[in-house]
Structure 1
């Protein structure tokens, strides 16, 4: 069985573009050369990898399996190059971490700050995504490490619980729901809201479940952070849905009240996830170990 990394890169490019011509362009190969390489892969494995048609190509079941393995191989090769380049040039290593809105705003900053202080040769690039997108990126091998709501993850993604993320309703201390302890989200229909900007993952999550209930939220203001949202709520502009940790913090300085949302979608476990923690490059493993220790320290009875 003879094939090389160029063959795997080409196959990934063909699969992503659903076209041998498009894959050849992405891989910077002549069409004839790309076509021969694909045929060589099929001959090497003894299976048909692509279904060829007028509108391009589709992966066979064997092709889907090869794509999965090819992405993992190329990911490990890039990780190897990155680790060794760090030793050769002295350039800092970098870890790419996908995180949902709540993780980015409330849970990660303190833990990441401690990690960066202790690891001066490692940078961390955090990108905000919705949990379902993080799950897809991790499962496909397009990303190595994520911070997401557990309910969005498929079974084949490894994870450990970092903390809990309960979403609560926030209202002015003398607002319509201020005396309530719990509420069904359906009951907020018709009330003015203060929300996050539409591009944030959490706002997409809230809007999706509101739509499932047949609710159209009347959002009077959209802001970038939870403190600003709670200030608007305290001034009587509207109600809001924010993480309990943020609401509790803001409640100490603002005249707001919090109400527990009974709906299941409002209760989420936040997890650190990866396709395989064992196969992560060394910088990412160091970050995972640090976050695992941080998660333990945040649990009740461990100093918080």
Structure 2
């Protein structure tokens, strides 16, 4: 089975226009050439790709599958052209970095800013995802570097410690859950799920992760409001609007920290090691290796949290 990019673009235009004639015109091909290309694809696959009628053409089940992949491939080609075009303006490298919420908001900014200041010709495409999704994307070769929690299976990838991170419960000092707790006491996450939460807006990887933990308990978290940052969460919690689970570092640096009660969670999944992962460090371009080294050597990579007491 051999399809070239012209075949795929033609097939897209034929399906989108509903006509081989119109698709051929949009692809700047003669009708006879376009028809031959479509028949060639069908012969190579051994199945029809189009249902032909007086009203035009529609994709078969196989055709819809090809359509999906054709769109992905052409989109990737366009992105490749755009990325490569940047080299003409002096760009020397482009790195795709995937990370979870904690890394994105708490640990990456300083390290990444320092690297980019020292490497002005390297661009970084940074995206937040769930750790499990990052691992799969890394295995599929869709990113250069990932930062994930050690709670996911990262087998097949090369990993290094990036930092240690702990999720804690933040609540108003007068909240019922905080009353009567001894110093350094820990609560199980299960004790919190019947209360109102404050969370991050949008498709935050952290909120999805907490939702998964609640689902395992047969519960669903109730959010009174979702806001755009950890600082805003702390402000809402300090006002008594609800409680929140968030990285301990976010609570410590919050300007509302003095008005919050911070309680450790007893669940093992709240104590996390963030790992820097690659498919193969030696196969990365030099500038991507430099970024991986800079992140691994950043101060955050050496920060640890004390064992529960």
Q: TM-score, normalised by structure 2?
A: 0.70
Q: Which runs of no fewer than 5 residues in structure 1 stay unpaired?
A: 14-20, 41-49, 60-70
Q: Greater CA radius of gyration, 1 or 2?
A: 2
Aligned to 1:94: 94
Aligned to 1:193: 197
Q: 1:283 to 1:256 in 2, by over 3 A?
A: same
1:250 match: secondary structure? coil
Q: How does 1:147-166 map to 2 (within 5 A)?
A: 147-166=147-166
**Could you tell me how far 1:197 is from its partner in structure 2?**
1.5
**1-side partners of 2:105 and 2:304: how far apart?**
21
1:146 match: secondary structure? strand
**2-side partners of 1:153 and 1:105: how far apart?**
23
8 Å CA contact 2:196–2:222 kept in 1: the answer is yes
Deviation sequence 1:85-125 (CA, Å, 0-9, x none):
74x65235332211211111001001011111211221222
- Matched residue count: 265
Q: Which runs of no fewer than 5 residues in structure 2 stay unpaired?
A: 17-26, 49-59, 66-72
1:199 match: secondary structure? coil
**2-side partners of 1:260 and 1:206: how far apart?**
15
Root mean square deviation, CA, Å: 3.9
Q: 1:35 to 1:102 in 2, by over 3 A?
A: farther
**2-side partners of 1:243 and 1:262: how far apart?**
14
Instruction: Give yes or no for the alignment of 1:264 onto 2:268.
Output: yes
**2-side partners of 1:31 and 1:140: how far apart?**
34
2:235 match: secondary structure? helix
Q: 1:31 to 1:93 in 2, by over 3 A?
A: farther
Aligned to 2:55: none
Q: 1:166 to 1:34 in 2, by over 3 A?
A: farther
